[in-house]
């Protein structure tokens, strides 16, 4: 555990990101106003300050010249927690440590199940007026990462099955879940696992981990890839507009609840048996070449140039 950190309340807050606002207007008729005594101008309301709770009285002119008082109550805008540059630098090592630990816990649960325990373990000794704010920021990062990883995994599982259906007509015609699982088992490999569950790619060494971890990864891959095939079949059928246990929302629910179900939780491995790379390996992503477009001067024969 790193040395304790004291966060200043002056430097902790970064730029706040605006969200939604809510307002409530109560109109009351001014009994003492004269119908002929107004200015006769159009109704208008001064733009309120949107950064704090406000109760303000505004004078309005109605169409018949009567003056009305309008009480405006505005709530603070919601925002996503953000840290200042100084504070982020102070807790950078801890935030990176949380992210690396999160990749392991996400492998075991496929949810942000360990969010509170990760924050407690890594940030509990932070002191200062804004310690709670730093923890809130860390929690938002954890939830954001898990949401992003879930989306990518599901998209990868669907894409893998579409590719297999294009390349293998026998697999495309498989509709029985048991038969689909048999096909998925034969193609499984630790490398394919980290390509599909890419939050683990370059961070977790599946092949070098304990046997319980390797078995768990194969269970996740076979079960979820098989059910993704049912989603692909469902979306390709004319009945895809109807609710079904094989539609995408049902698959997402299965993805999020599978690891905590009674059928699978007993297979969850010991996290200490998960082997992580000491330093995440650099991505081998190739540089994308700039596309060369056809120019009108490239081929005069294909260009219409009037001669008359």
Residue 186, φ and ψ in degrees, nearest 5: -70, -25
Task: State the Cα angle at 214 between 211 and 217, rounded to 5°.
Answer: 150
Three-class secondary structure of residue 21 per DSSP = coil
Residue 25 has what pLDDT? Answer: 36
Distance in Å from the first CA to the final CA of the chain = 83
Sign of torsion, CA 146 152 155 159? negative
Pairing of β 67-74 and β 54-61: antiparallel
Nearest Cα to 150, choosing from 260, 254, 226? Answer: 254
How far, in Å, CA of 49 to CA of 1, rounded? 44
Contact 230, 177 (CB under 8 A): yes
How far, in Å, CA of 148 to CA of 275, rounded? 23
Which parts of the chain have pLDDT scores under 50? 10, 15-56
Residue 55 has what pLDDT? Answer: 46
Annotated domain spans of the chain: 85-273
Look-up: residue for tokens 């079949």? 233
Sign of torsion, CA 272 275 280 286? negative
Residue 24 has what pLDDT? Answer: 39
Contact 259, 265 (CB under 8 A): yes
The answer for residues whose C-beta is within 8 angstroms of residue 42's C-beta and 6 or more apart is 61
Long-range contacts of 131-139 (CB under 8 A, 24+ apart): 131/7, 133/7, 133/12, 133/13, 133/81, 134/7, 134/12, 134/83, 134/87, 134/91, 136/81, 137/81, 137/82, 137/83, 138/95, 138/98, 139/115
Contact 35, 64 (CB under 8 A): yes
Helices 92-109 + 115-123 axis angle, to 10 = 150
């Amino acid at each position: 555990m790193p040395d304790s950190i004291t966060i200043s309340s002056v430097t902790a807050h970064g730029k706040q990101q605006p969200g939604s606002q809510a307002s409530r207007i109560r109109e009351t008729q001014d009994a003492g106003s004269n119908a002929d005594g107004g200015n006769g101008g159009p109704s208008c309301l001064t733009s309120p300050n949107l950064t704090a709770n406000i109760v303000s009285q505004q004078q309005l002119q109605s169409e018949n010249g009567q003056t009305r008082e309008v009480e405006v109550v505005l709530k603070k805008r919601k925002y996503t927690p953000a840290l200042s540059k100084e504070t982020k630098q102070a807790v950078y090592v801890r935030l990176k440590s949380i992210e690396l630990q999160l990749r392991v816990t996400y492998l075991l649960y496929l949810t942000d199940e360990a969010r509170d325990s990760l924050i407690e373990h890594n940030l509990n000794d932070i002191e200062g007026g804004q310690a709670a704010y730093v923890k809130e920021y860390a929690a938002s990062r954890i939830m954001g990462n898990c949401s992003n990883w879930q989306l990518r995994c599901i998209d990868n599982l669907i894409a893998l099955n579409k590719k297999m259906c294009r390349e293998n007509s026998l697999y495309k015609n498989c509709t029985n879940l048991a038969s689909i699982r048999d096909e998925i088992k034969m193609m499984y490999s630790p490398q394919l696992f980290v390509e599909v569950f890419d939050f683990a790619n370059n961070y977790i060494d599946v092949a070098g981990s304990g046997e319980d971890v390797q078995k768990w990864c194969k269970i996740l891959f076979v079960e979820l890839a098989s059910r993704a095939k049912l989603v692909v079949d469902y979306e390709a059928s004319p009945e895809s507009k109807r609710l079904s246990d094989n539609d995408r929302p049902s698959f997402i629910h299965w993805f999020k609840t599978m690891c905590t179900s009674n059928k699978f939780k007993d297979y969850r491995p010991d996290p200490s048996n998960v082997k992580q790379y000491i330093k995440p390996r650099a991505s081998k992503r190739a540089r994308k070449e700039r596309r060369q477009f056809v120019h009108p001067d490239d081929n005069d024969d294909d260009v219409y140039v009037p001669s008359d």
